[in-house]
Structure formats: structure tokens, C-alpha cells
Amino acid sequence: MAKNYGAVAALKNTSLSVLPGEVHALMGANGAGKSTLVKILTGAIRHDRGTILVRGKAHLVRSPADARRAGLVSVYQEPSLIPDLDVLANLRLTQTPVEPFRNWVRELGVPDLDMRDNARDVPLAIQRVLDLARALAIEPDVLLLDEMTAALPANLAERVLDVVKRQSRTGRSVIFISHRFVEISALCDRATVLRDGETVGVVDISPGVEERIVELMLGAKIEKARAAQRQATEASAHGEAGTRIAVRNLRVGTKLQDVSFDLKDGEVAGVVALEGQGQDELFAALAGSTKPSGGTIEVDGRQVRFSHPVDAVRAGIAYVPGDRSEALAMQQSVRENIALPFSAAFRNWGPIRMGQERATVQSAIERLQIDTRAQREVQRLSGGNQQKVTIARWIAVDARTILCFDPTRGIDVGTKQEIYKLLRQLAAQGKSVLFYTSELEEIQLACDRAIVIFGGKVVDILPVEIADEPALTRAAYGLPRDAKAAVGILAETASSEGARP
Amino acid sequence: MSIIATASPTVPLGRRVKRFMGDYPLVPLLILLVLLVVVLQIMQPGIVNQRWIANTVKFAIPLALLAGCQTMTMLTGGIDLSVGTVATMAAFIVATQGVDNPAPVAMLIALIPALLVGFANGIGVGVFRVHPLIMTLGTSLIGVGCLQVYQRTVIGSGAKVPDFLIWLGTGVTWGFPNALLLFIPVAALLIFIQKRTGFGRLLYAVGDNERATRLSGVQYWQVILALYMFSSVLAGIMGLLYMGLIRAPSLSLAEPLVLPSVAAAVIGGTSIFGGRGGYTGTIVGALILTVLTTLLTILQMPEGARRILFGAIVLLVTAAYLRIIEDR
Amino acid sequence: MRFLRQHGWVAGLFALFVVLFILTKIIQPGYGAGDFGSLVRAVLPYAFVVAAQTVVVIAGGIDLSVASMMALTSVTAASMMAGASEEYALFVVPFVLALGFALGALNGILIVVTRVPDIVVTLATLFMLQGAALLVLGAPGGGAAEWLKNLIIGTVPLPGIPDGLTTWIPKALVLMVVLLCIVWIPLMRSRLGLSIYAIGSNQLAAFRSGVPVARTKILAYAIAGLFGAMGGLSLTMSTGIGAPIPGPYLLASVAAVVLGGVALGGGKGGLLGPIVAVFVLRLVRTDLTLLAIDPNVTAIVEGTIMVAVVMFGAFIVMRSRSS
């Protein structure tokens, strides 16, 4: 089976060939043309030159329906169930056989699915699993998984990887797109690496191949990224720093049961949790979007009650959501987006001092090194730069506390490094950061402590020295620190990787 | 990771023209306006003179004012269909109150319902989150009812339009319509608000992504309430001016201008989904519509055919404009 | 539990209708079958226009041209039937329905091809259809076949059921139910129906699920056009003439759609809610008239109720979203 592509603006000379029965990773830094290739494969956009061959036969793929007829089914980064239809109707819409679907759902670790539930009411992580089950039930020749595990809790992710691996044994192929090396080395047979719209290499996955892939992906950029990487031993001590936020016995709805911790001035505290353990609610409560149902939040020693995000902003607490489209006015300029909080209060509705604003915005842009070539509309920026804009906004108003919810999700390695560096700088200036991440290795790269939440409660607070991936994984599953955990392929690979250097 | 168009040295001419128009959205509008005037001149040589221009401007101004309401509300993704009723109320009240009261008092009284309607709209849209289309249609329905009841109470007392309004609405000084005295400051204010004030920024941002503004500490209802009250008062002022221009009070005075006001804003490049556009374009849009109306009158088109053409042009201009924007 | 959650709104509306009906009986003890018949006749055009709006709103759009569509189809029917034979009307009716369907499809095609937002396209077609109506008939006039007019007058005699009951089943009600069901039920059972909900709920997800988005949208508007034509015909049937200036049907249709639990923005709701909502709104008007309130004040009260109900509905939606 071979696929060859000609040029689109973002793709110059890309080819990708996937063997039957293979799990093939597609990799590339942001802007390498990965998403464009995916869009072509799924029929969302048309290619200008080149061909798509499935089992040696050329196919014209002009819509997802065409792609499906060609035997190519995709699971997208965002859930693609129709939110207002129940699961059954969703299956009917895509003419998916129900029984195989049900089996796959069970197989994937969701035993209690009610097919009459509207997709909207199904938790996000489960929706992704349903997407996958739907794709599997169609029994495609080629299954394309785009960042399939990005929003999944570790337990589900593991089941998913397991199922995908078995899928390939039946002679079907899987194209697997992921930012996580752990998964790729656990799952994939080969990897195609894209850079600047060209295929720069096809490598066999074997231990230690990560270095090679990163080299291919980044080209010359790797040394710089390495230099920025912070060692765990650099973690600074914060004995005497004041307590910025004190959370006591916080409860929010049913998800967040009883959470207490302190956030000190000048520290980056990491939050680690599997999907749906209450971290969304914790951040929403601290940001003023949701009212807590119990417990207290103290800011600088004074108890606060937030009823609107404006209250949190006034208390100097800024929230950077993981989903950039939640935080940005996409059609407005970089400048207007960064300056947005300036005008929020009623007293600032009057004339703007343009010069002063320009200076403030400019310094924030420079500090975060935002690529301003496309600054007239934020939607034209790359994902990494968009994320920087959402943070720059709060740097510009000098917020004392920043709540970052998975800010590095789906952005390229270089920008990730810059964000870690920025968080460290903020801490060095005495600001405090609460940093939730779904990628465990980030804890040691950016944080001073790791607060682990499981089942809506804080189960452990680990100092950064010991917060490596195996330890965090164990803690995130609610296991005590010294217990030996058997949590499947993910943890195994993670620990072997941790042991390697 | 979107497709980043690589700027190659050989951009085809058509594309370059389109890109230019996209970066300067006013240019295609002005070209269209000039084109319409040229067509008019060809069909009826000599019609385009100073008096005609003054007259056109005179009739474009009320439309542009009303379209200003639409521009402001459309920036937030809203629309204000109550402006016709509000303007009619203001006009009718100023004419009837003008009998017993001095002109300034009558004008102030006339603006009270405008404030009330705007307040209701703002509360409905901002606090209760009713879709602006429905909310403003609803308040406009209520407004018409109130106006009819009010009409009964003043039916015997006659009407008198304040002289000042007549001077402002119909007068021409040195070839310039006096209405410009009102319009230029208002237009300048609108553009200033949109471009250089925090409130204006919030209008664009709210229309673009309300959630993002919420996270930035913006209180939606404040913005919306202020916006709809502003829009209503602007409509009320337009009603006063229009009364001076038409001079005959009626219960549906400004109603026929509502849909054209939406059209003017749309033609002017303001996105009906919010976040994009501005008043400068709207002014040109209002001029285009006014010239077009003249053109159709000269062609002696039956009313029906005129409306068909009018609709088709709105659609075509919007579609063409969309293509230009998209190609950037 | 799920049934209540999904249909609670409609059930509540229906309860409201019953309460209003009892209220009407109290205000006017003589309110009888004949009055109910005229209520249904008054509702008839509203029901169709609301159905038209419902389909489009579920598909994630909005059709501002519904009222003009009614006006155009009404004057077309009236002018064709004026002075013509009774049998000729047999040809006129399908022709007008096809006209509505085609013009509706044109709405959809324009939206898909120009990629201009629905609200702008239908605003433009509002002008155009209104203009076309004026070209067909410059002033109210025309005529209607007798058998058509008789279709909505009187009641349906059912064998075996006492007269006391059948007098409460006006022909107009039967006509309304039959026509709505003929279109709606097969639609909802087909993949097209699912697709309409899908594109309204999340267009991208629908596209990715293999739904032909453009075709579905065009068909949704075409069906709306068909309902609009039914509304136009029912206008001609009840008045015997055609009027080129559209009535207040646009606002009513949007209000009833919202009141009926169909979310503006698409993907949610059904047809029953909006239809019950229309009955509720009309009955309120009847009650006000029965209370001998000045018709102008009636308009104010009616508008206020409509706005208040819509505000309440929006408030409920907001609360449910935040919890």
C-alpha cells in the first residue's frame, strides 16, 4: 500500500506508505504539514498533485464519505459525535453496525455505556473512545488516529493502545499521530517524519530511536531545545515564601471532593491527575467560573468567594485554559488579544492610551518571543504562538498568579520548552503558577512540586526530585509511593525510559 | 498548523487585486459607489449635480444613522430590529409633544422611550441571553402597541414639528445639508468608540469570543446593556432628524428603513456574526443603497421588481465581499 | 426520567395550553366548539410557518423569508384561481406547493453556493420574494376555489363517535395534523432527518460523519419552502384572496420556535413543541379579546408575554448550561 502526495502550499513533496498490519507513526513539529496531510487523507481538503493508493488502487478522496469508501477511517483530535443526537442515532447516521460497536466499546474499557444518552452528556474522554469504537466497528483497511490519546486518562489510553496494537495483528494498518514518544515506542513499528511539508525520513522504531526522530523533526533546532531543558536538580527551595493561595477542603459538585493545598509565592506547582479526577473543577473554581459547593479559598490570607471570573482577575488570578479557542478572540489582532483584560473593567471603557498600550503589549510579545508575522488575526498564528498570546495577556497585566491548564497540549517541542522556561522565570520573579499537565515528564521540567489528585482528593504531594514519570503514574492511580505498580504497557515503558538515562 | 501560504514572487494579477481589496475593504465599496453614480449619470445625463448630491446625502444620513445601530450591535454578534420602532416613537412623540412644550423639552421626552426600549433590550440580551433578533423584534412589537395607545391620547391635539428639526432635516447651507452638522460628530464618535476606546474593543472581542472575554474579566451584561441603550438612543436621535426631514408624523415612519439599515451595515463589511467590521464601511454602504434607490426610481421599476433587485444586490455584494475577505 | 427531560418542555407547554383553555372557559362560559374551530383556523397559517421555521432552525439556520414565502405562494394561488374553474384548483395546489419547495431549495442553494450566512441570504430573499409577490398581485385580490375554502370550514363527522365530540374536531385541525405528519414523520424516520439534526448540532462533526452537509442544508430549506407554501395556501383558503404584503408571521414563527423548545443554533427540539406554542400564543390573544381589552393594549400585552416567555426560556437554558 502506498500513498504519494504532490504539492499543496503546505505540502511540497510528501509521501507516506503504510504496510498492511503495521502501526505507523506520523510525526512532525507544528507546521510541518502533518495536519494538512491528515486533512487530505480524510477528504477535508483536496490535494493539488499526487495520488492516494489503497491496496494498490487509486482513490479520489473528496469527502470523509469517500475516504471511508476507500477503506480509510479517521478518528479526529476533537470528538466527532453529533452532540445533540444519542449514541444510537450517531451510529445510524454513519451506518455503523451496532453490535460490533458495542463489543469494541466494552473492549476499550467502557462497560456501562447507555446508547440512549446524548453524545453531549457523555464525558469528553469517553466520547473519544466511542469515536474509536465507531471507527473500529467499520473495520477499515487503514485507521487514522490523530492525537487519539491526547485527552484520555492513562487507564483508558492504555486500553486504547492495547486494542490498536491488536488491530494491527489482524492485517489492518494504523496511522498513528501523537506527540508522546512513550506511546509511539510502545506501539508503532515505523515512523514517517515530516518537516516543512516534506518527508525527511522513515525510521524503524527501536529503543533509542526517539533521539533520531527528534533530530529529524527539528533539524538544527534540537541543540537549542536541549539547552533550555531544565534539570530536576535546579528546583529552587521555597522555605520562607508567603502563601499566595490556600485551598482548604474545597468541594465542587460531585467531581472534586476534598482538596487542600497551598500555592506559595514564587513557585510552580504542578497538578497531576488522570482524566476527570476533578482537576477541571478545581481550576474552574479558582478561576471564578464555577462556584464551589464547599470549603474555602484564601488569597493572601483573606477568604474569597468568586462568582464571576472578574473576581478572580481582580484578585490577580489569571486562568489560561488548555483549549486556546476558549481564550482567544480569533479574528482580532495579537495586540487586541493581549490588551483585552485592560478594557474589561467599566472604568476602562473610555479612550485608550494607544502609545502606552503599544509599549506594554510589545514588551509582552518580546518576552514570549511571539512570532508576529501574522499578527493581524490571531487565527493565522500557529498553535504554539496562539498559546503564547493567551499567556502574554496576563504577563502584560502582571497577574500575580497564573493557572495554566495543560498549556502545552498539541504544540511543538520548541514552544513547549519556551513555556517551561517562561514559567520558571515567572516563579523567579515571585509569581506563582498552578500548572496542570497531562504529560507527566513536564512536571520535572517545569515544576517545584507535584500535587496529585485522584478521585477528587489530593492523594500525594511529591517534591520535584522524586516526581518522575513512574512515581507520578503510580500516584495518579492512587497507589502509595513505594508500592510496585502493575499498570500495563504505558507504565512499563515509562519506567524503562526513566531508567535509561 | 494551518496552511501557511508561501508568498511566491509570481502572484497572479487577479489575486493581487483581490488581496489589495481585502486589505483595503473600503476600496471595492467606493468603486461600486462611483460606478453606480456613473451609471446614473449615463442614464440621465446632467442629474449628478451639487443639488442632487446634497439631496442624496440628506437621505443617506438617516439610513446611515440607523445602520450605525446595526453596526454597533452586529459587532457583538447581535442585531437591533427595534430601531425602526424606536425612531418612529421618538419622531411621533416629538411632533405631538412639540405642540405644548418647547422644542428641547419635547426632544428630551421623545428620547425617554428610546432609553426604555434600549434598557429592555439590553436586559433581555445581556442578562437573560435572549437571541437579539427575537428580543428586539419583541420589544419593537410592544413599542408599536404602546405608540398606538399613546396616539389615542393625543389624537385631538395635532402635531407640530420643532423648527430646529426641520432646519436640521431639510435645510441646506452653502450646498451642504445641515444634517451633516449632526451626522459628522456622530459618525466621528462612532468610529472613535470602535477604534480607540475600551468599550469598542470589548464590542469586537465579545462578538468574536464571549468566553474569552469572560475569562479576561469582562462582564458581558454590562457591555450588552450599554450597547443596546446606546443603539436605542442613536435610533431615537435618528427619529428626531427623520421627523425634520419627512415632516409628517406617522405610526410607521422609520419602519421601512430597518431592513435597509441591516443591508447597509452588511454591505459595508460588518460581519453579522460579530467581531469584524466598522462604521466607515457602513457609511459607504448607506450611500450605495441611497444612490441605488434613486437609480431604480429613475428606471421606473415597479415596486416589486425594485425589491427583487435590491435583495439580489445585497446578496451579491455580500458574497463578493466574502470572497475578497477569504482570499487574503 | 429521560422522557421527562427530553419532553418536559413540550409537556409543560401543553399543560399551559390546557390551563389557558380552562381560563378561557371561565372568562367566557359560552366558549364552545365553534370558537375552537375559529381558533384552529386562525392557527393554521401560523402552524405551517412555524413548521417551516422549525426545520430550518433545527438544521442550524434561520429563515427570515418565511413570511414573504407565504405571501408569494398565497398571491400566486389566488391569482391563478381567480375566475378559474373549480377543477383548475386541483392543478394550482400542487403547482404552488412545488413552487414553494423550489424557492425554498433556492434559498438553500444560495446559502451553500455563496457561503453567505443564512440570516443575510434569507434577508435578501425576503426582499426578493416580497417583490415577486408584488409583481404577481399589486394589491390584495384574486380568488380561491370553493372546495378549497370548504376544506377548513366545519367539522369532521366521524361515524360511531357522538356529535358532541366531533364538533370539537374541526376540519382545519385534521388538515393541519395530516399535512404536517405527511411531511414530518417520514422525514424524521429517514437518514435525511438525522442529517438535519446533525448539521444543526455540529456541522464539522456531521461532515466528518459523512453527512452531505450542503445537500442536507438545501433540502432543509426546500422543506421549509414547502411548509411555507402550505401556509400561503391556507391563507388563501381562509381569506379567499391573496395579499402581497406579508403578515406578522416572521416574529411569530421565531417566537413560537423558541417557545416550543427548539434551540436557536440548531440540533435540538421537535415539531410538536412549536405547534403547541402557536396554539398557546393564539389562545392568549383570544383571551385578551374576550376580556374586552382595547386591541392595541392587547398587542402590548401579547408582545410582553411573548418577550417574557422567551426571556424565561432563555433563563432556563442558561441555568441548565451552567449547572
C306/A450: higher pLDDT: A450
Q: What pLDDT does residue A116 have?
A: 80
Q: Which residues between 103 and 142 in chain A have a beta carbon less than 8 angstroms from any beta carbon of chain C? A: 116
CA distance A439 to A407: 10
In this prediction, residue A492 has a pLDDT band, given cuts at 50, 70 and 90, of very low
Long-range contacts of A422-430 (CB under 8 A, 24+ apart): A422/A367, A422/A368, A422/A391, A423/A268, A424/A230, A424/A268, A426/A268, A426/A395, A426/A402, A427/A236, A427/A266, A427/A267, A427/A268, A428/A236, A428/A266, A429/A266, A430/A241, A430/A265, A430/A266
Selecting from A30, A336, A344 the residue whose C-beta is nearest the C-beta of B1 gives: A30
- The whole-angstrom distance between C251's CA and the closest CA on chain B is 7
- Give the chain C residue nearest B309 (alpha carbons): C128
Chains interfacing with A (3 or more CB pairs < 8 Å): B, C
Q: Is A35 on the interface with C (CB under 8 A)?
A: no
- Give the chain A residue nearest C192 (alpha carbons): A93
CA distance C301 to C281: 11
In B, which residues are within 8 Å of C251 by CB distance? 134, 137-138, 141
Mean pLDDT of chain C: 85
In this prediction, residue A373 has a pLDDT band, given cuts at 50, 70 and 90, of confident
Q: Is C207 on the interface with A (CB under 8 A)?
A: yes
A168 half-sphere exposure, CB direction, 13 A CA radius: 23
DSSP tag of B126: I
A49/B108: higher pLDDT: B108
Which class for C5: exposed (0-12), middle (13-18), buried (19 or more C-beta within 10 A)?
A: exposed
Q: Is C128 on the interface with B (CB under 8 A)?
A: yes
Question: Is the CB of A351 less than 8 angstroms away from the CB of B192?
Answer: yes
Class of domain C36-322 as given by CATH = mainly alpha
- Give the chain C residue nearest B136 (alpha carbons): C307
Mean pLDDT of chain A: 77
Q: Do domains A3-228 and A232-316+400-499 have the same CATH topology?
A: yes
**Beta partners for A173?**
A142
- What's the one-letter identity of residue A376? R
pLDDT tens for B84-109 read 899 999 998 888 887 888 888 888 88
In this prediction, residue B1 has a pLDDT band, given cuts at 50, 70 and 90, of very low
Minimum mean pLDDT among A434-443, C4-13, C89-98: which range?
Answer: C4-13
Question: Is the CB of C300 less than 8 angstroms away from the CB of B142?
Answer: yes
- Counting residues of chain C whose pLDDT is more than 70, the rounded percentage is 94
- Give the chain A residue nearest B76 (alpha carbons): A329
Q: What pLDDT does residue A218 have?
A: 61
Q: Is C37 on the interface with A (CB under 8 A)?
A: no
- Give the domain ranges of chain A: 3-228, 232-316+400-499, 327-398
Give whole-number Cα distances, A196 to A10, A27, A43, in Å.
Answer: 7, 12, 21
Q: Is A4 on the interface with B (CB under 8 A)?
A: no
- The whole-angstrom distance between B314's CA and the closest CA on chain A is 24
Question: Is the CB of B2 less than 8 angstroms away from the CB of A339?
Answer: no
Give whole-number Cα distances, C194 to A82, C55, C212, in Å.
Answer: 10, 12, 12
Q: What pLDDT does residue C76 have?
A: 92
Q: Which residues between 319 and 338 in chain A have a beta carbon less than 8 angstroms from any beta carbon of chain B? A: 319, 321, 325-332, 336
Interface mutation target, options A78, A88, A93, A116, chain C, most CBs of C under 10 Å:
A93
In this prediction, residue B167 has a pLDDT band, given cuts at 50, 70 and 90, of confident
User: Which residue in A150, A62, A137 sits closest to A104, CA to CA?
Assistant: A137
**Is the pLDDT at C151 greater than 60, yes or no?**
yes
Q: Is C8 on the interface with B (CB under 8 A)?
A: no
pLDDT tens for A338-361 read 888 888 777 888 788 888 888 888
Question: Is the CB of C315 less than 8 angstroms away from the CB of B129?
Answer: yes
Q: Is C305 on the interface with B (CB under 8 A)?
A: no
b/e per residue C136-157 (b: at least 16 CB within 10 A): bbeeeebbbbeebbebbeebee
In C, which residues are within 8 Å of B128 by CB distance? 311-312, 314-315, 318
A498/A33: higher pLDDT: A33
- Give the domain ranges of chain B: 49-326
Long-range contacts of B150-157 (CB under 8 A, 24+ apart): B150/B92, B150/B93, B151/B92, B151/B251, B152/C296, B154/B96, B157/B96, B157/B99, B157/B100
Total Cβ atoms within 10 A of residue C38: 13
A295/A179: higher pLDDT: A295
In this prediction, residue A211 has a pLDDT band, given cuts at 50, 70 and 90, of low
Question: Is the CB of A9 less than 8 angstroms away from the CB of B5?
Answer: yes
In this prediction, residue A480 has a pLDDT band, given cuts at 50, 70 and 90, of low
Beta strands of B94-252 (E only): which ranges? 172-173, 176-177
The cell numbers describing C62, all together, are 434561520
In this prediction, residue A486 has a pLDDT band, given cuts at 50, 70 and 90, of very low
C15/A253: higher pLDDT: C15
In this structure, are residues A384 and A414 in contact, taking their beta carbons and an 8 Å threshold? yes
Q: What pLDDT does residue A443 have?
A: 82
> What SS3 string covers chain C?
CHHHHHHHHHHHHHHHHHHHHHHHHHHCCCCCHHHHHHHHHHHHHHHHHHHHHHHHHHCCCCCCCHHHHHHHHHHHHHHHHCCCCCCHHHHHHHHHHHHHHHHHHHHHHHHHHHCCCHHHHHHHHHHHHHHHHHHHCCCCECCCCHHHHHCCCCECCCCCCCHHHHCCCEHHHHHHHHHHHHHHHHHHHCHHHHHHHHHHHCHHHHHHCCCCHHHHHHHHHHHHHHHHHHHHHHHHHHHCCECCCCCCHHHHHHHHHHHCCCCCCCCCCCCHHHHHHHHHHHHHHHHHHHCCCCHHHHHHHHHHHHHHHHHHHHHHHHHHHHC
Question: Is the CB of C194 less than 8 angstroms away from the CB of A64?
Answer: no
Q: Is C134 on the interface with B (CB under 8 A)?
A: yes
Q: What pLDDT does residue A182 have?
A: 72
Class of domain B49-326 as given by CATH = mainly alpha
In this prediction, residue A152 has a pLDDT band, given cuts at 50, 70 and 90, of confident
Class of domain A3-228 as given by CATH = alpha beta
In B, which residues are within 8 Å of C307 by CB distance? 120, 124, 130, 135, 138-139, 142
CA distance A87 to A90: 5
Question: Is the CB of A93 less than 8 angstroms away from the CB of C212?
Answer: no
- State the residue for C-alpha cell 443603539: B231
In this structure, are residues A61 and A40 in contact, taking their beta carbons and an 8 Å threshold? yes
Q: Is C116 on the interface with B (CB under 8 A)?
A: yes
- What's the one-letter identity of residue B292? L
Average pLDDT for B236-246: 89
**Is the pLDDT at A43 greater than 70, yes or no?**
yes
Selecting from C2, C209, C268 the residue whose C-beta is nearest the C-beta of A93 gives: C209
User: In sequence order, what are the residues at sequence separation of 6 or more whose Cβ sits closer than 8 angstroms to the Cβ of residue A324?
Assistant: A383, A386, A387, A390
Q: Is B124 on the interface with C (CB under 8 A)?
A: yes
Q: What pLDDT does residue A202 have?
A: 82
Selecting from B3, B5, B214 the residue whose C-beta is nearest the C-beta of A309 gives: B214
Chains interfacing with B (3 or more CB pairs < 8 Å): A, C
Q: Which residues between 225 and 284 in chain B have a beta carbon less than 8 angstroms from any beta carbon of chain C? A: 259, 262-263, 266, 272-273
**Is the pLDDT at A36 greater than 80, yes or no?**
no
Q: Taking CA A323 as the corner, what is the angle to CA A320 and CA A324, rounded to the nearest 5 degrees? A: 75
Question: Is the CB of A74 less than 8 angstroms away from the CB of C208?
Answer: yes
Mean pLDDT of chain B: 83
Question: Is the CB of A93 less than 8 angstroms away from the CB of C194?
Answer: yes
Query: How many contacts does A have with C, using Cβ atoms within 8 A?
Result: 64
Average pLDDT for A267-294: 83
CA distance A225 to C318: 46
Q: What pLDDT does residue B89 have?
A: 92
Q: Is A289 on the interface with B (CB under 8 A)?
A: yes
pLDDT tens for C220-229 read 999 999 999 9
In this prediction, residue A32 has a pLDDT band, given cuts at 50, 70 and 90, of low
Q: Which residues between 303 and 322 in chain C have a beta carbon less than 8 angstroms from any beta carbon of chain A? A: none
Q: Is C67 on the interface with B (CB under 8 A)?
A: no
Average pLDDT for C264-286: 85
CA distance C318 to C313: 9
Q: Is C160 on the interface with A (CB under 8 A)?
A: no
In this prediction, residue A222 has a pLDDT band, given cuts at 50, 70 and 90, of very low
A487/A323: higher pLDDT: A323
Class of domain A232-316+400-499 as given by CATH = alpha beta
CA distance B249 to A312: 52
Selecting from B4, B199, B218 the residue whose C-beta is nearest the C-beta of A10 gives: B4
CA distance B258 to A169: 66
**Is the pLDDT at B57 greater than 80, yes or no?**
yes
**Is the pLDDT at C21 greater than 90, yes or no?**
no
Q: What pLDDT does residue B21 have?
A: 61
